[in-house]
Amino acid sequence: MKEINISTAATRLRKSPLTKSDTGLSDQFLSEVIRQNDFVQNRDVYFPQGLATLSLSAVLSAEPRLVTCSERCSDEVEINRAVVEETGLDTKILKCIVADWVPVEGDFDAIVAIPAYFSSGKINRRYFLDALVLEAHKILRPHGEILFVQGSTADIERTQVELDRNGFDFNFVAQKAVSFPEAYLKDTAFMDEIRHIPNAFEMRNGFHFETLYAIRAVLARS
């Protein structure tokens, strides 16, 4: 894997106006996991809503063949591509498109994703996570893979059931406990919801902690 100095890149990516604050910890965690594994090397990768994320710098430096990033509208593509170009990262292997989460035209060896949960904007907070698991087979090549991060507040047990039900063999690549962002604590409806989710969080010295999981899933059956 090529090593690059991403201090300037990280600063600029964090300042992108379209980076969701509540996915910041997941983004940082995913970038660490990518740098420690060969998940994207020599592969065609799809990264939905991946522009202006710290993880993108890790993906681009991990020697993929091509990285396709999607955003929801042309304005987001233009803003976030400009942010990426300012970082000095190799954008020759980066393709930016306007598309929904999934599916998207084309076929890929791998999908890298940070499905929004708290900030999904949907009545069903798992909308993007469930869509990823349900629709990935449409754009993955045989035995293609997904690498994504999910927090324990999004019901990790349910995700395991859905992955198995949709033909994926999976394992947990890494996990990391993080304290709740302030936005969680201020949202009383969210805090009430997660109390009904098994193992959603734990208390440590009076503070709420969530576990982030990096999950690698291989499409074994479709």
Contact 22, 118 (CB under 8 A): yes
- For domain 7-219, is the CATH number 3.40.50.150? yes
Mean pLDDT of all residues in 207-215:
98
**pTM of the entire predicted model:** 0.88
Contact 112, 54 (CB under 8 A): no
Query: Which tens digit of pLDDT belongs to each residue from 108-155?
Result: 999 999 999 999 989 999 999 999 999 999 999 999 999 999 999 999
Query: Which tens digit of pLDDT belongs to each residue from 152-203?
Result: 999 999 999 999 999 999 999 999 999 999 999 999 999 999 999 999 999 9
- Please state, in angstroms and rounded to a whole number, the distance separating the CA atoms of residues 59 and 19: 17
Ordered by start, the domain boundaries in the chain are 7-219
| 216 to 9, 33, 62, 160, 175: CA distances (angstroms) | 26, 11, 17, 11, 12
Q: Which of 14-18, 20-24, 50-54, 122-126 has the lowest mean pLDDT?
A: 14-18
> DSSP assignment of 40-77, as one string?
STT-EEEEET-TT-HHHHHHHTT--SEEEEEESSHHHH
- Please state, in angstroms and rounded to a whole number, the distance separating the CA atoms of residues 168 and 211: 22
- Please state, in angstroms and rounded to a whole number, the distance separating the CA atoms of residues 6 and 152: 29
- Please state, in angstroms and rounded to a whole number, the distance separating the CA atoms of residues 133 and 147: 11
